[in-house]
Amino acid sequence: MSVELWTIILVGLSFALYIYIGWQSRVKDTKDFFIAGQGIPSIANGAATAADWMSAASFISMAGLISTLGYDGSIYLMGWTGGYVLLALLLAPYLRKFGKYTVPDFVGERYKSNLARLVAVVAAIFVSLTYVAGQMRGVGIVFSRFLEVDINTGVIIGIVIVGFLAVLGGMKGITWTQVAQYCILIFAYLIPAIALAFILTGNPVPQLAFTFSDVADNLNKIQTDLGFAQYTQPFANKTMMDVLFITIALMVGTAGLPHIIVRFYTVPNVRAARFSAGWALLFIAILYTTAPALSMFARYNLIQSLHNHTVEEVRQLDWANKWEKTKLLTFEDKNKDGKLQLTSKKETNEITIDNDIIVLSTPEVAKLAPWVIALVAAGGLAAALSTASGLLLVISSSIAHDVYYRIFDSTASEEKRVFVGRTVVGFALVLAGYFGVNPPGFVSQVVAFAFGLAAASFFPVIVLGIFDKRTNAEGAIAGMLTGFIFTIIYIIGVKFTGMTPWFFGVSAEGIGTLGMIINFIVTITVSRCTPPPGADIQALVEDLRTPSFEE
């Protein structure tokens, strides 16, 4: 069977499974809709958290960026994994004990301020929409290649599936769907990595093949010959300052992501939340320890397959011909010598490879079986759809629960609150579709912006809300606004108006670290210059940090 037929079969079966789970998990009350009734087992929630967190950026784009950036691409590995550890150990148990299942709800109750709640809602919506844009682009890329439809059509198909799951089953349906999606995406990632490791080194364990083979040395030599920096050379593509700032932004941004934090409320108690965090870290580590190996092997294979071959030879490769149709892989024999050259200089480079196709094309380049190629497509879709579903629920809960119910209609019935939540999901889907069709960068870049915004807005007020009983509403509001506004202006300026990165050359992806620092300084300063919180809030914070022996 052809790759396309295998893709239709595997993607169709996976979508049928998601729809079946969503239908079986349909809900009517707000507790099921927003926090899955707090009845998800730890191991299942760990798998769902891993799927929610390992988005299209992790599955599709991260290895592509590492392939392109080499050593400097490790910022994504260090930032995202370190951030999850930070969240699991520093914040999650306390937030779960506090009992409020959204970040705006925590902010509103901890600081006793509806204005603080509204600021947090706005930030959560911005973060979630930015993040979901990356997922929709990932869906469009997969569909455009493997089902040979237009990217925009692929985005629309993805939106319909995500909308069905989010509207019908809420968090309960999404959680169990994400368990299935994790199983699909991890097998889809590991199988080609294992096969490629064995083909290139004779060792089927990617992590060992990456460490104890000569592929890295060979790739370094090839890169040097082509005018690139060595693959393993540090700070060849980014400055040390930028690497530091991006890593920190990704790390603290992870710890402030609303759709991950809410996961710790879907389990029965604090103890289950801790175990859930441990399972999620294990499930995440399986993919993230494989990514560096897959990145290097993919880079090596692509160069060997494309460089110094004629245009005719390359276009006879079925995979290259089909990826060229998507315009994510382009060829141009600029010097008319009959052969294509991959070089570091833009004016002489004749092969352009979009970062986002490297992982998806790897099984085809390695001439693996058609069903493996199709499985990777299904895995990419699973990664994108799982995260998009969680993000839509964050937007829904932020408006339906934190604004509509908490501020405007505290007497609203369960049915009305769920209806409002589902309506908000519909509006969010339209916006997600627009940004999926018109994304501001590669999948990982778009997602990095979301992490920067989360770092600059949420991380300081959550940390200080837990560990500093002197922090008050005035400080939290001022800190969130200044950190968030500064970061979004810098990102827009650099990415859309041509502004030169003026802060020591730190890129838009890393400026969230400075936004976070500004937030901390402003929050602490304003809090110290204004009256302290009431005795009840200070007692609440003291109790929050008291160890819980809840089973």
pLDDT digits (tens, 9 = 90+) for 310-353: 888 888 888 888 888 878 888 888 888 888 888 888 888 888 88
* pLDDT for residue 34: 63
How many domains is the chain built from? 1
Residue among 325, 414, 305, 306 at smallest CA distance from 367: 305
Coarse DSSP helix, strand, coil percentages of the chain, rounded to the nearest 5 percent: 75, 0, 25
* Terminal-residue alpha carbon distance, the chain: 52
Q: Which residue has the tokens 């050359």?
A: 505
- Amino acid symbol at 237: N
Task: Report CA 364 to chain centroid distance, whole Å.
Answer: 25
| pLDDT value at 236 more than 50 | yes
**Range name among 95-99, 380-384, 412-416, 445-449 with the lowest pLDDT average:** 445-449
48: which 2 tokens?
């769902």
Residue among 514, 450, 458 at smallest CA distance from 486: 514
User: 149 pLDDT band (50/70/90 cuts)?
Assistant: confident
Residue 322: inside a domain: no
pLDDT tens digit string along 49-67? 888 777 777 887 788 888 8
Residue 345: inside a domain: no
Q: What is the mean pLDDT of the chain?
A: 83
- The rounded distance, in Å, linking the Cα atoms of 494 and 499 is 5
* pLDDT for residue 473: 94
Instruction: Report the percent of the chain where pLDDT is more than 90.
Output: 19
Residue 46: inside a domain: yes
pLDDT tens digit string along 200-231? 999 999 999 998 988 999 999 999 988 888 98
Domain that holds residue 101: 3-300+367-544
Longest pairwise C-alpha distance within the chain: 79
* pLDDT for residue 443: 52
pLDDT tens digit string along 68-78? 888 888 888 88
Give the three-class secondary structure for 328. coil
- The rounded distance, in Å, linking the Cα atoms of 404 and 536 is 26
Residue 342: inside a domain: no
- The rounded distance, in Å, linking the Cα atoms of 486 and 151 is 33
Give the three-class secondary structure for 43. helix
For range 402-421, the mean pLDDT: 78
pLDDT tens digit string along 261-294? 777 777 887 778 778 888 888 998 899 999 999 9
Residue among 457, 484, 477 at smallest CA distance from 523: 477
| pLDDT value at 92 more than 80 | no
| pLDDT value at 551 more than 50 | no
Residue 307: inside a domain: no
- The rounded distance, in Å, linking the Cα atoms of 222 and 66 is 16
pTM score: 0.82
- In sequence order, what DSSP letters do the residues of 350-407 get, joined into one string? -EEE-GGGHHHHHHHHTT--HHHHHHHHHHHHHHHHHHHHHHHHHHHHHHIIIIIIII
For residue 469, the 8-state DSSP code is: T
Residue 45: inside a domain: yes
* pLDDT for residue 267: 80
Domain containing residue 447: CATH number: 1.20.1730.10
* pLDDT for residue 491: 87
Task: Report CA 502 to chain centroid distance, whole Å.
Answer: 27
Residue 323: inside a domain: no
User: In what helix (H) or strand (E) does residue 329 lie, and over which residues does it extend?
Assistant: strand 329-331
- The rounded distance, in Å, linking the Cα atoms of 29 and 13 is 29
